[in-house]
Amino acid sequence: MPYLLIAGGVLLLQAGFSYALILATTGGGSFVALGVMLLAVLGVPLTALINILLIRSGRSSPGRPYVGRLLLVSLLLPVVQLALLILVSVFRL
C-alpha cells in the first residue's frame, strides 16, 4: 500500500506541475502548452508505472536505497517540460 501512496503522490505532483505550465503558456501563440500536454500524457503514467516497479523491487531491503532512483525518475518529466519552456523562451521558437 505505501508504494501506491508514493507513486500516486508523484503522479499528482507531476500532473499539477504540467497543468501549471500549460496555464502559464496559454495565449502566447507557441506550442509549448501542447508539447507539455503531450509529454504529460505519456510521461505521467509511465513514471507512475516505473515508480511502482522500483518500489516493488526494492521493498525487500529495509534501508530503502531506491529513494534516489525514485527521485531521479520522478524529476525527469518536470525537468524536460521546463527545458522545453526555457528553450522556446530563449530562442523565440
What pLDDT sits at residue 8? 79
The full length of the chain comes to: 93
What's the pTM value of the predicted model, to 2 decimals?
0.78
Per-residue pLDDT of the chain (93 residues; tens, 9 = 90+): 666 777 778 888 888 888 888 888 876 666 888 888 888 899 888 988 888 888 777 666 655 667 777 888 888 889 998 888 888 888 876
Cell numbers that stand for 66 in this block:
531506491
Q: Which of 56, 58, 59, 47 is nearest to 18 (CA)?
A: 47
Q: What is the largest CA-CA distance in the chain?
A: 50
Element (DSSP H or E) covering residue 14? helix 2-25
Q: Which residues form the domain of 81?
A: 2-91
3-state SS assignment for residue 62: coil
Number of independent structural domains in the chain:
1
Residue 9, CB half-sphere, CA atoms under 13 Å: how many? 8
